[in-house]
Amino acid sequence: MSRCPLLANEFTVVYESPDPEHIYAYSPGLCRLPNGRLIATMDQGGVGVAALPGVKTKSKGAQGKIFSSDDRGRTWQHRADTPMLHARPFVAGDCVYVLGHDGDLVIVRSVDGGETWSQPVTLTQGQHWHQAPCNVHYANRKVYLVMERNTDPSLRGWPVAALAPVLMAAQVADDLTHREAWTFSNELSFRDAVKATGQPNLLGVPFYQIGRTAPDNPGDKRDMNPIGWLETNVVQFTDPDHVWYDPAGRTFHLWMRAHTGTTNLACIAKAVEADDGALTVSLEQAPSGQTMLYVPCPGGQMKFHIIYDQVSRLFWLLSSQATDSMTRPDRLPTDRFNLPNNERHRLALHFSRNCVDWCFAGLIAVGGSYRQSRHYASMVVNGDDLHVLSRSGDGRAKNAHDGNLITFHTVHNFRELVY
C-alpha cells in the first residue's frame, strides 16, 4: 500500500527553544509584505521565560518575537521582542502591524517594512482577551480580524464557553495604533448564544460528560471542559450562488474552532456591517430558518487557518488531522496529551468553494510521533507557493502541546493540488 505523500515535510527552523523543558514555542503568525518580505511572529511561554532578557507580558510572563525573511523563508532575522501573546502580523496601508494581547489588546507598528518597530500601545483597559494567529480579511478598503474577549474572567478552568469573538475593523490607511481607528463588534459569548437558542443539536455535543473522563484513575488529568468556541477566522462569500452571499458585501462569517470533545466540526456565526460601520455578531440561519452553530470542518476540533486565494477562487484550510478520536481516554498512552480528539502531529491541507464542502489536498507535514507536533499553523500565498509556519516539536519537546520549535514549510505550486 502506498503512503500519502507529504507536501512539505522538510522545514527551516525559525525559532528553537534554548530549554525545551521550561521554554515553549507558541502562536506562529505569518504575513507577506508587498515587496515579498515575510514577517513571522511567535511567543515563548513557560517558567523559563522569566530568565530571558527582553520585555515580557505582565499577565503570564511570556515574550513575543518578530522575525523577517527576504529569501522566501530560507533564512530569518530576529527583529524585535514584544510583550504580547497570540499575536499576528498584517499589512495595512504602508505599514505592517502586529496585534496581540497582554490581558488587554496590544499593538506595535513598523513604518519601514519590519526593520524597526514602535513601542507597544494598549488598545483596551482592564479586560481579558484571547485568540490565536488566525486570518486577516480585507474588503471595503478596511482590514477585518477577530480577537476574543473573555466575558467572565472568574470562570474556572478553560473559559471557552465565555469567549466572545469580537470582529474588529479599521480603515487600512489609518494609524491602527490609535484605539479610535478601530470599530469593535458586539460581544456574543458561546454560552449566551447557546442559551438564546435552547435547541438540541443532535450531534453528540458534548461528546464526554464535563469533568474527568477517567474518574477511576486518580492520576489521569484528561478533563472535558465545558463546550465553547475559540480561535476565529473571518471569511466572506463572494459567489452569488452561495446561500449566504450578500450582494452588498457587508456580511462576514466567523469560522471558529469548536471545543466539543469530538472532531471535524467548526462553530460559525455571522457579522453584519451597518452603513455607519457598526458590526453586529449573531448566529447564522439555514435556508429553512433553523439556527446554526456547527458546520463540517476537517480538523475543526483544533486551531485552524483559512485563506481565500483569488487566483484559484478557492478557500484553503490548514488544520490538524485526527486519527483516533474514538479511542477510550483511559486506553491512551500515558504520555499522550489530553483527550483523544486532541491529536497534534498531522498537519493537513484542504480546499473548498464554499467553506463547507472540503476536498483533501494532502498532508503538509507529520511529526515523528504523537509528541512531535505540527499544528496551530498559519499560512500565506506567495506567487505559486503556499508558505506555512507551524508550532512544532522534535524528540526533545516536553509534550505535544508545549513544543520547542517554530518551523517554516513551503508547498510549491499548491494550486496544482486542485482536482
* CATH at 110: 2.120.10.10
* Strand arrangement of the beta sheet that strand 121-122 belongs to: 85-92, 95-102, 104-110, 121-122
Q: What is the mean pLDDT of the chain?
A: 95
Query: Which of 205-219, 314-328, 396-410 is least confident?
Result: 205-219
Query: What are the Cα distances from residue 398, in Å, to 17, 341, 342?
Result: 11, 19, 16
Per-residue pLDDT tens digits for 346-370: 999 999 999 999 999 999 999 999 9
- 213 lies in some domain: no
In this prediction, residue 208 carries a pLDDT of 86
CA distance 305 to 388: 10
Q: Give me the amino acid identity at 227.
A: I
Per-residue cell: 289: 430558518
**Mean pLDDT on 29-43:** 98
| CA quadruple 219, 225, 229, 231: dihedral sign | negative
Which range marks the domain in which residue 304 is found? 12-199+223-417
If pLDDT is split at 50, 70 and 90, which confidence band does 134 have?
very high
pLDDT digits (tens, 9 = 90+) for 269-283: 999 999 999 999 999
**Is residue 177 domain-resident?**
yes
Q: Is 230 exposed, middle or buried (0-12, 13-18, 19+ CB in 10 A)?
A: buried
pLDDT at 1 over 60: no
In a domain, 266, yes or no: yes
Instruction: Please check whether residue 5 lies inside any domain of the structure.
Output: no
2 Cβ partners below 8 Å, 6+ apart? none
In a domain, 243, yes or no: yes
For residue 193, is it within any domain?
A: yes
Cell of 182: 478601530
Question: CA distances (Å), 179 to each of 233, 245, 337, in order?
Answer: 22, 31, 39
Give 281-290 pLDDT, tens digit per residue.
Answer: 999 999 998 8
Q: Is residue 212 part of a domain?
A: no
Which of 40-44, 153-157, 272-276 shows the lowest mean pLDDT across its residues? Answer: 153-157
What is the average per-residue pLDDT within 150-176?
96
pLDDT at 203: 83
User: Residue 207: inside a domain, yes or no?
Assistant: no
Phi/psi for 196 (5° steps) reads -70, -30
Rounded CA separation 207/333 (Å): 20
Q: Give pLDDT, residue 34.
A: 97
**Bridge-based pairing state of the strands 284-285 and 314-320:** unpaired
Average the pLDDT over 42-66 and give the result.
96
- How many domains are contained in the chain? 1
Cα-Cα-Cα-Cα torsion 200, 205, 211, 213, nearest 10 degrees, comes to: 140
Polymer length of the chain: 419
pLDDT of 200 above 70: no
Scanning the structure block, which residue is given the C-alpha cell 459567489?
A: 239
CA 215 to chain centre: 32
Mean pLDDT of 250-270: 97
Task: Tell me the whole-structure pTM to 2 decimals.
Answer: 0.96
Exposure on the CB side of residue 75, measured as CA atoms within 13 A: 3
At residue 2, does pLDDT exceed 70?
A: no
Q: Which residues contact 262 (CB under 8 A, 6 or more apart)?
A: 203, 204, 205, 207, 301, 325, 341
